[in-house]
Structure formats: structure tokens, C-alpha cells
Amino acid sequence: MEASGNVEEPRVWGYKDIWMTQMGRTNAIVHEVDGGNTALIKQHPYRLNPFKARQVRREVEAMLGEDIIEPSQSDWSSPIVFVPNPDGTQRFRVDYRKVNAVTKLDSDPVPRLEDCIERVGQASDITKLD
């Protein structure tokens, strides 16, 4: 904070030219979900009102157009859900809870939050990637 009480502009804003402004994907890594010998999980879509159904179509068409997703003939399926954003808009997501429940966990544990905070130390800028 400046002495006048105005909030200082974050330094990261000076690097907007490297930010992605649209959705994308990477081919740098491949992720596979190990469900072991689990029985097939095939969930029916949740019912959507006409407004949300149009939203789904727009989102899917946009992701197909951007080559983020591709058509699939998989026997596995999980329903789409919308999650509210703080600004009132809706975020398109897939409900993978049943798949997650049968997924074998990686042997590499997620670091403890306290250890991560300790490593940050006196840093003035912190980035969180989701």
C-alpha cells in the first residue's frame, strides 16, 4: 500500500503480454487416470434448463473450435455442472466425483500447505496456478 491509501498496481501486470487470454492446452505432458479394475462409470447428464443447455452448447462448440476437446466414443461419462463465480457468471465444469472416488492416488503426496507457505518466506509476489 502507498502512504496515500491507494493500492499499488501488482508488478505482474507489467507482463500481460505473456498471459493467455483464451483457453488452451499443452502437449508437454500426458495425464492418465488409473482406476484399477473398477467397473465402468457411466453417469447420465444432469437435467438443464433451456438457458443452461444453450450455455453448454456454446461452451462445447467453443472448446471444439479451439481444439481443446475432441469428440469421444468412451464408455465412461460424467455430467456437466455449472459453478458460480464471485462475479455472478457461471463456470463450466465436469462432475468427476465418482471417477475421483475410484482413482488410485499417486505415490507423490501433495505438499503440506504449511511447508509451501514457509518456502514462500518474505516474497512480495506469489502466483497460484489452477
Counting other chains too, the contacts that 96-99 makes at CB distance below 8 Å and 24 or more residues apart are 98/41, 98/43, 99/33, 99/35, 99/41
- Which pLDDT does position 2 carry in this prediction? 44
Grade residue 8 by pLDDT with cuts at 50, 70 and 90. low
Domains of the chain: 31-104 (3.10.10.10)
Query: What pTM, to 2 d.p., does this model score?
Result: 0.62
Q: What is the mean pLDDT of the chain?
A: 82
- Which pLDDT does position 78 carry in this prediction? 94
Between 88 and 18, where is the model more confident?
88
pLDDT exceeds cutoff 50 at 54: yes
Coil, strand or helix at 118: helix
Mean pLDDT in residue range 107-127: 78
Coil, strand or helix at 81: strand
> What is the rounded distance in angstroms from the CA atom of residue 51 to the CA atom of residue 112?
41
Between 61 and 30, where is the model more confident?
61
Grade residue 79 by pLDDT with cuts at 50, 70 and 90. very high
Q: Hey, CA dihedral for 97, 102, 103, 105, is it positive or negative?
A: positive
* The three grid cell numbers given for residue 69, joined into one nine-digit string: 476437446
